[in-house]
């Protein structure tokens, strides 16, 4: 039987200093190495949640995840495989001021280095691969993005088991658990707005996220399944409004609505509807897809897409 790999997550933390890009490298005294900050997934966590938690624990920085930088895999001394997911994460001056790093048993020191110097300092070839991906986005002016997070509601009571209107169907216990486990993973992308279908199952799905972020939930009939079926949804207008605002936002809706919603974001952002976007629009209950859209209007629209499931 094949042993599952050890899962971990981290980030290329970066900032602009005197017009130049610097990235964060950590020195681990016990391993006598220099690497990118990362750590193992705890039980019940989604990968984005892990990345944010590990960066905070290792460096004191509170970060918001930007575009994904893919994965690296390697073999541990024990012989087990390790799979690490990375994101880019810009660190502003305020976050830097609030960070309280103290050398500890795991991390002895932090260094902010220009990309070229970081490339020379890093110990492992797989970290260089991640840095290459980061630099590619940086050179293409696609490293700064805002996130559109499309969420499918958690598992709800079946229509056949519910006597009331479809929009009043509540979440099952499994659906409530899904909502709870994805909340911090969604919050890792720094949403500034939460928009939900008016259906009870959608509103209940984003309730834990609202509690984690302190954001109010804005109910909207226009992204409900009822509106799609009766022709009053007007998804193009919903998407246009969000793209004009250019802030990270959550939209919680239904299985039949989400493919059309994501297709509209692709079309209006000027991005071809690729196989990856098609796959990302077919969500199971409790799943969420993150569309990373370039902030600079001269850059490509959707820079990256990723999908996550409840832990």
Extents of the domains making up the chain:
6-139, 145-308
Above 70 in pLDDT, residue 298?
Answer: no
pTM of the model: 0.95
For the stretch 97-121, pLDDT in tens is 878 888 887 899 999 999 999 999 9
Q: What pLDDT was estimated at residue 102?
A: 83
Q: What pLDDT was estimated at residue 30?
A: 86
Q: Which residues pair with 1 in a beta bridge?
A: none
Above 90 in pLDDT, residue 277?
Answer: yes
For the stretch 125-172, pLDDT in tens is 999 999 999 999 999 999 999 999 999 999 999 999 999 999 999 999
Same fold, 6-139 and 145-308: no
Q: What pLDDT was estimated at residue 46?
A: 98
Q: What pLDDT was estimated at residue 260?
A: 96
**Domain 145-308 adopts which CATH fold?**
Rossmann fold (3.40.50)
**Mean of pLDDT values over 15-39:** 94
Give the residue with greater pLDDT, 30 vs 280.
280
Per CATH, domain 6-139 is 3.40.50.300: no
Q: What pLDDT was estimated at residue 1?
A: 55
Above 90 in pLDDT, residue 296?
Answer: no
Above 90 in pLDDT, residue 225?
Answer: yes
Contact 209, 73 (CB under 8 A): no
For the stretch 163-196, pLDDT in tens is 999 999 999 999 999 999 999 999 999 999 999 9
Above 60 in pLDDT, residue 265?
Answer: yes
Above 90 in pLDDT, residue 261?
Answer: yes
Q: How many CA atoms lie within 13 A of 176 on its CB side?
A: 6
Q: What pLDDT was estimated at residue 299?
A: 60
């Amino acid at each position: 039987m094949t042993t599952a790999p050890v899962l971990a997550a981290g980030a290329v933390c970066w900032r602009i200093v005197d017009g130049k890009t610097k990235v964060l490298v950590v020195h681990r005294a016990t391993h006598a190495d220099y690497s990118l900050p990362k750590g193992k997934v705890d039980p019940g966590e989604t990968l984005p949640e892990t990345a944010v938690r590990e960066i905070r624990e290792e460096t004191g920085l509170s970060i918001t995840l930007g575009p994904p930088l893919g994965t690296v895999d390697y073999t541990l001394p024990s012989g087990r495989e390790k799979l690490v997911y990375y994101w880019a994460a810009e660190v502003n001056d305020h976050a830097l001021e609030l960070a309280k790093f103290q050398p500890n048993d795991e991390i002895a020191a932090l260094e902010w280095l220009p990309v070229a110097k970081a490339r020379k300092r890093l110990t492992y070839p797989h970290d260089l691969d991640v840095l290459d991906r980061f630099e590619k986005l940086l050179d293409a002016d696609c490293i700064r993005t805002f996130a559109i997070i499309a969420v499918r509601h958690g598992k709800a009571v079946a229509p056949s088991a519910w006597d009331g209107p479809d929009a009043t169907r509540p979440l099952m216990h499994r659906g409530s658990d899904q909502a709870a486990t994805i909340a911090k993973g969604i919050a890792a992308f720094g949403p500034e707005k939460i928009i939900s279908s008016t259906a009870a199952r959608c509103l209940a799905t984003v309730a834990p996220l609202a509690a984690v972020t302190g954001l109010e939930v804005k109910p909207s009939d226009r992204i409900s399944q009822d509106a799609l079926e009766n022709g009053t949804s007007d998804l193009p207008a919903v998407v246009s409004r969000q793209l004009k605002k250019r802030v990270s936002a959550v939209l919680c809706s239904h299985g039949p609505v989400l493919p059309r919603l994501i297709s509209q974001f692709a079309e209006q952002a000027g991005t071809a509807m690729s196989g990856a976007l098609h796959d990302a629009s077919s969500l199971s209950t409790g799943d969420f897809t993150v569309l990373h859209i370039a902030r600079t209007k001269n850059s490509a629209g959707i820079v990256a897409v990723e999908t996550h499931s409840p832990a």
